[in-house]
Structures are given as C-alpha cells and as structure tokens.
Amino acid sequence: MPIPFPFSAVVAQEEMKRSLLIAAIDPSIGGVLVFGDRGTGKSTAIRGLAALLPKMQAVDCTYNCDPAASDEALCADCRDKRANGMTLKGRKVPVPVVDLPLGATEDRVIGALDLERALTKGEKAFEPGLLARAHRGFLYIDEVNLLEDHLVDSLLDVAASGENLVEREGLSVRHPARFVLVGSGNPEEGELRPQLQDRFGLSVEVKTPTDLPTRMKVVRLRDAFERDRTAFVQKWKGKDGKVRRLIEKGRALLPEVSVPDATLEAAGKLCIKLGTDGLRGELTLIRAARALAALQGDTEVTVDHLKEIATSALRHRLRRDPLDESGSTSRVERAVQELFGE
C-alpha cells in the first residue's frame, strides 16, 4: 500500500483541513465535499487524514461492527450471536477508508447476491461491496461530480437510512452502512446533483495559492516526499501524532459540549437571513460548531464558533439568486458580517 503524504505537512488549505478534522470528530455531520482546482492537495489531505485516525474497536465480522452497539446497529450475524448469549469481542482495527472509483459497477459498490447458489443450493450467498467495507469509516469519491446517476441514487438511499438493502429476484440482504462521505472534484468538469450535494455536511472550496512563498513551500515539501517517502513521513510523525491526539481529545470532549439558547438563536437567524431550505443547514451548522468547539478544547459553543464554520456549513445550501452576482461564499460571509460583525 502506498505511503500517504502526512496530513500535517499539507500547506495552507486551512478550511479543508479543519473541515476534515471536524468530520473525524463527529461523523454525524454528514461528510465533506471538497471542490476546487486540480493539484491543490484535495485527495492528498483526505488520504493523509485517514492514515492518522485513531484505531477503533470492532468485532471480527464482515462489517466491523461495534461490540458496544445496540442490536439495531449490528449486522445479522452479530445480532444472532448476541441473541444466543455470546459476547461480542472487539479488537483494535484501523478506521476503514474506502475509495469508490468512477468506473465501479453497481454490484461492486452495493454488493452482489449469488442467485445461482440460492436457486441450486437454497443458500443466501452475499458478496459484500464497497459500502460494506466503508461501514464505520470513510467512503472517498474522487471526481464525485462525474459519478454515474445510478450510483448516486444508491448512495442517497444509504446516506439517508444508514443501511444498505440489496434486492435481486425476490431475495434481499440488509446490512449496516454508516460512513463519512468525502467527495472531491473540479467544478469545471460538471456540477454535482443537488440531492447528493445536500447530503454533504460541509462544503469546502480550495484554490491554487497565488503567493510565491506558499507555492515554493508546497513544491519543496512535495519534492522531498517523492525523493524519500519513508524519511519524510518519519520527520512529520511527531506533528501527525499531535493531530491524532487532537482528534482523540475532541471525540472524548464532544458529549460534554453544550449549545446555549443564544447560540442556537444566532444560528437560526443566520439561516433565515440566507433563506436556506429546510432545517438541515441549521442542524449541520450547530453540529459542526459543536465539533469545532471540541476540537479547540471548549465546552460551550459560542457565536465565534458559528462564525468560523458558517461558510463551510452553508455555502452549498443557498438558492441561486439571479439578482445577486456574488458567489455563495460571499453571500454567507456578508450575512455573518451583517448579523454578528467582526
């Protein structure tokens, strides 16, 4: 397996790195969409984060079930074992990070039922797909805006329910499939379907650095990594370790972080001012602000946390305004300024 570029060595792109860390602390936020120019470190940062995520407790089963989970969150085999009085034993395993390639077939993504074996032997044989492998981890889709429609439909169903249902000729298999969806792409190559875009909790725009010192630093670090990957990773091991500990502390602190009514009211006012559809924007904004507070070691969500994460949480949820030529990023920033000032 190729050695990934260290997450802590990614230069600039602070909004992208912060959003990925927030999603790692609270997966319920709904994942991260990263759109921008080619060669700006999108996939590099995502794969770097995956390499430093703390290990998780998992049962030795196809779906890496959580031994402490309720029956509803377990796969059929683990449920049966628990029902028969067996104790589900956990072991430390890396958090799965699964790539979904553009050319993947539907069977490879959602899994395949062996109809021949079912008809000849009367056995329900299921070959798990990428969604099964990604359970409790990350599903990464590069060029997500080019994903075929039938795969987008499958992803929408699973993202909404947290489980994958495979049906073929009267046979069906259902298994848990909860994962953090991370997508990247170049908007010049096509737009993302609104239904899928809305499923991402945070949306990040990345641009090519325009200042010379930053560009020189990026080139210097990448060149050093390509010349000796092992030595480069070792050099950044300490800083990556600090990031890992930040994630661990943030996850531990998250349940203790409170959201005062005043902050909730501020989030509502911002979403009303921007005219976001539904309440998903507010929910995501509050959850992201809470995870940001946990990341920063705070136990209470303030308006400052909202201001810091508002653009990432809301820019992809705005209706297009034909009378306003400014982009969605500018509209969110302007609304934040008007409501909360500096």
Residue 14 token pair: 């602070």
Q: Sort 106 into a burial class: Cβ within 10 Å, 0-12 / 13-18 / 19+.
A: middle
> 168, 215, 280, 334: which is the annotated catalytic residue?
280
18 is catalytic: no
Taking alpha carbons only, the member of 279, 330, 331, 287 closest to residue 306 is: 287
Sequential DSSP letters for 10-52: --S-HHHHHHHHHHHH-GGG--EEEEE-TTSSHHHHHHHHHHH
DSSP state at residue 80: H
Taking alpha carbons only, the member of 94, 1, 99 closest to residue 52 is: 94
Going along the chain, which residue ranges are E strands? 32-36, 56-59, 90-93, 97-99, 112-113, 126-127, 138-142, 163-168, 171-176, 180-185, 202-206
DSSP helix/strand/coil, 284: helix
65 Cα distance to chain centroid: 19
DSSP state at residue 234: H
The whole-angstrom separation of Cα 56 and Cα 63 is 13
Taking alpha carbons only, the member of 103, 168, 149 closest to residue 130 is: 103
Tell me the Ramachandran region of residue 90: left when phi exceeds 0, alpha when psi lies from -120 to 50, beta otherwise. Answer: beta
The amino acid at 61: C
Sign of CA dihedral 315, 100, 229, 51: positive
The amino acid at 14: E
**Which residues belong to the active site?**
280
